[in-house]
Amino acid sequence: MELSLHDVARLLNAGERQIRTWIDHHGLPHFAVLDELRFNREEILEWAAAHHVPVRAAGLAGEAPSRLSVALDRGGVFHDLPGPTPEAVLNELLTRLPLPPAVDRDLLRQMVVAREKAHPTGLDDGIAIPHAAGPLIDPMLEAPVAGLAFLRQPVDWRARDGKPVTCVFLLICPTVFAHLALLAQVANVLSRPEGKALLQARPPAAELVARFRAFEERSGAGRAPADGRSTDQSSV
């Protein structure tokens, strides 16, 4: 989804001058169309998560924001997940993830692993956010599912800061809109010192989901319906 400079400034709660500073000095992803700056929303959200920059909780056109706490409640939190490589970790996580019978797990594995090999999702500070979303997922899944795995051993994930990954958010979404909403909420969690401390503490699943729900309520993300398919018309 293509954004303008004004859109990105709103999304990141920053002035346009700050956006240009991030472009010049902090690698904010961008491209040019007829000499005007343009941005890819998914790349911006991944950059925000990696750089601990909070983002707006507003939904995208045509959908209300999905809630990370609800998606995690569906998918689960997994402690001490084994695997020496990203592919092994993803295979194990996708095996454990409680998915509807209609989901083709083999196809899902192929999609997630292929995307990860082409575009590694390792961020900073030991976090990775692999994902699958879009038309191939939509017929299999009615609502977003997220799995959070705390790894048994650090794994080289080709992260941006070169550090091994110890915590993996796996996002499986029927629409790109739902995926972007969840990715924005992960970015907001990582932008908070208490969010990073929570992940480092590796609490039980119920406590973690409750804390994420509290983050959402404070940021406004929890006020919309949870399935990511409403007709709310707010944008960026």
Across the chain, which has 236 residues, the per-10-residue mean pLDDT values are: 88 92 92 89 85 70 71 96 97 95 92 91 92 86 94 95 95 88 89 92 95 84 41 30
pLDDT at 220: 65
- Please answer whether residues 41 and 10 qualify as being in contact, where contact means their C-beta atoms are separated by less than 8 angstroms: no
Distance CA 135, CA 181 (A): 17
pLDDT at 114: 92
Domain parsing of the chain, residue ranges: 2-51, 68-223
- Please answer whether residues 124 and 164 qualify as being in contact, where contact means their C-beta atoms are separated by less than 8 angstroms: no
**Which residues are CB-neighbours of 126 under 8 A, at least 6 positions away?**
154, 159, 163, 164, 165, 166, 167
pLDDT at 35: 83
pLDDT at 62: 45
* CATH hierarchy code of domain 2-51: 1.10.10
Q: Which CATH number fits domain 68-223: 3.40.640.10, 3.40.50.970, 3.40.930.10, 2.60.40.2580?
A: 3.40.930.10
- Please answer whether residues 177 and 65 qualify as being in contact, where contact means their C-beta atoms are separated by less than 8 angstroms: no
